[in-house]
């Protein structure tokens, strides 16, 4: 049972504030989980998104990067012709 009577309103307000592309609510490893999908154009936006979750929901926040197909095409075209040895060589 949800202990906070404002949970739904708080969750709805939060998801509307950041205009998430999608919001899913599920269970992962026995924990209540929100999967929120958004286009994050700048990494300096992370604290504005994560901090309300830390404070309001006492939660763990993970922000894994992901690409859409256009991003993937751009990334692959940027590495065409680049060998792994040339990349790793600069770190040896």
Domain that includes residue 27, residue range: 7-66
CA pair distance 12, 7, nearest whole angstrom: 8
Do the domain assignments include residue 42?
yes
pTM assigned to the model = 0.68
pLDDT of residue 27 exceeding 80: yes
Per-residue b or e along 20-32, where b marks 16 or more CB atoms closer than 10 Å to that residue's CB? beebeeeeeeeee
What the block records as the tokens of 53 is: 């979750």
Do the domain assignments include residue 2?
no
- Domains in the chain, number: 1
pLDDT of residue 73 exceeding 70: yes
Do the domain assignments include residue 89?
no
Do the domain assignments include residue 49?
yes
Do the domain assignments include residue 34?
yes
Do the domain assignments include residue 72?
no
Do the domain assignments include residue 84?
no
Lowest-confidence pick of 20-29, 51-60, 64-73:
51-60
Do the domain assignments include residue 85?
no
């Amino acid at each position: 049972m949800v202990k906070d009577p404002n949970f739904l309103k708080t969750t709805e307000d939060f998801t509307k504030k950041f205009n998430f592309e999608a919001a899913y609510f599920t269970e992962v490893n026995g924990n209540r989980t929100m999967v929120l999908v958004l286009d994050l154009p700048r990494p300096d936006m992370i604290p504005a998104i994560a901090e309300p979750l830390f404070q309001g929901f006492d939660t763990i926040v993970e922000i894994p990067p992901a690409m859409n197909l256009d991003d993937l095409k751009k990334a692959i075209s940027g590495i065409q012709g680049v060998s792994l040895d040339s990349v790793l060589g600069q770190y040896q």
